[in-house]
Amino acid sequence: MSLQSPRRVLVGIGGGIAAYKVCEVISTLFKSGAEVRVILTDSARQFITPLTVSTLSRHPAYTDADFWQPTHQRPLHIVLGEWAEIMLIAPLTANTLAKLAYGMADNLLTNTVLASTCPVLLAPAMNTEMWQQVAVQRNWQQLLTDNRFYGMSTGYGLLACDRVGAGRMAEPAEIVTHIQSLLCTSGKRDLLGKQVLISAGGTREYLDPVRFIGNPATGKMGIALAQAAFHRGADVTLVHGIVNAEIPSGVRSLPVVSAAEMEKAMLECFPTADITVMAAAVADVKPANYTREKLPKRSLPESLPLAPVTDILAQLGHCKQPQQILIGFAAQTGDIVTPALEKLHRKKLDAIVANPIDLPDSGFGSDNNQAIFLNKAGDRIAIAPGTKLEMAHRVFDLVVSH
């Protein structure tokens, strides 16, 4: 997270075995440059200690013992509520959920929520039967009607009670990514109700079952775009080739291998998309002939006949409706603007992101990136170096504002 530091994240830990996972969240946030403060509920102290979280956050942990002591010039919950840019409550227990749903406050954590105005990210965790109770689901849905609150889906798997089912807390990496998105956007949901279609990753064009023409794309940029759009409220479909990163939960995933498969999936999804971002690294050519059985080494051709691959982005540009927004990516070396502008106009795009792949710490495989955003109105806007998630949010900022 290369956002302007220090960013202020307040973490509230509830009483559940998943509390141990929050330690990784705190550590990751601190290492990324954020200031982290932690509130432990009394029940959370049955699972982890104030010493543990204070060591990871480099700041004393707050408990109810601090809340009820008249040792502060101003009430502690007011100070913490005003300090926080983002709040995380994890694990969110059924008890704390019920209190928040009805505006109740009987401890430091719940009083701080009511004394703050910042976005609050909720990561519930509980036994499957508890999570599926009508009362719990009613409280969950009621709380999410308040635009301050952002809910993370529970996972499915083996729980601490040995039950296999829903109720697992979201994984630390997913929680951290959502926090970073909220810091980028201050919680705005400017894509709410929008259908966003994104392509990611590289394609493979096979000569035989074990040999192919490909590229170094990992899909990280496209996945970051999908995460950013989802966190801003969009319904997201991700058509992806081979990727080296986990597909975000909540995103519809359509895996493909070849350019022909990606073309079919994109053309099927495109008519209902409000915004389409073509971030995939699609092959330009493929072997002219495919052999169903592996070719012996001695049978490999000395020169490989090639055939062109259909330009998916150009197809989308020619069938685009006026209300649709179509964004391309141009991975370039050297002069990145001239070829990107040519693609912008030839493929009838609304904008294109010119992406240098020959600069350090950007382009294929990197967690970071930089670009120049060009649109059909003639704007030319530099996107400063940063994480791919930050760049994804910057792209959507520009799409929404232009």
Query: Helix 388-401 and helix 172-185: axis angle, to 10°?
Result: 40
Active site residue 161: yes
Which residues in 201-304 belong to E strands, given as ranges?
A: 205-208, 211-213, 235-240, 252-255, 275-278, 285-287
Residue whose structure tokens are 């490989």: 304
Contact 334, 310 (CB under 8 A): no
Q: Is 388 annotated as a binding residue?
A: no
Give the Cα-Cα-Cα angle 398, 235, 344 (nearest 5 degrees): 40
Q: Is 31 annotated as a binding residue?
A: no
Q: Is 343 annotated as a binding residue?
A: yes
Which of 23, 118, 161, 269 is flagged as catalytic? 161
- The Cα–Cα gap between 366 and 274 comes to 29
Do strands 368-375 and 252-255 pair parallel, antiparallel, or not at all (unpaired)?
Answer: unpaired
**H or E element in which residue 200 lies:** strand 195-200
- The Cα–Cα gap between 373 and 230 comes to 21
**H or E element in which residue 141 lies:** helix 134-144
> Side chain identity at 149, as an amino acid letter?
F
Q: Is 329 annotated as a binding residue?
A: yes
**Cα Rg for the chain, rounded, in angstroms?**
24
CA dihedral of 267, 268, 274, 279, whole degrees rounded to 10 = -50
Dihedral pair phi/psi, residue 279, rounded to 5°: -100, -5
Do strands 351-356 and 285-287 pair parallel, antiparallel, or not at all (unpaired)?
Answer: unpaired
Which residues in 14-67 belong to E strands, given as ranges?
A: 35-40
Q: Is 294 annotated as a binding residue?
A: yes
Torsional class of 203: left (φ above 0), alpha (ψ -120 to 50), beta (otherwise): beta
Dihedral pair phi/psi, residue 173, rounded to 5°: -60, -40
Catalytic residues: 161
**Binding site as annotated, residues for CTP:** 284, 294, 329, 343, 347
**Binding site as annotated, residues:** 284, 294, 329, 343, 347
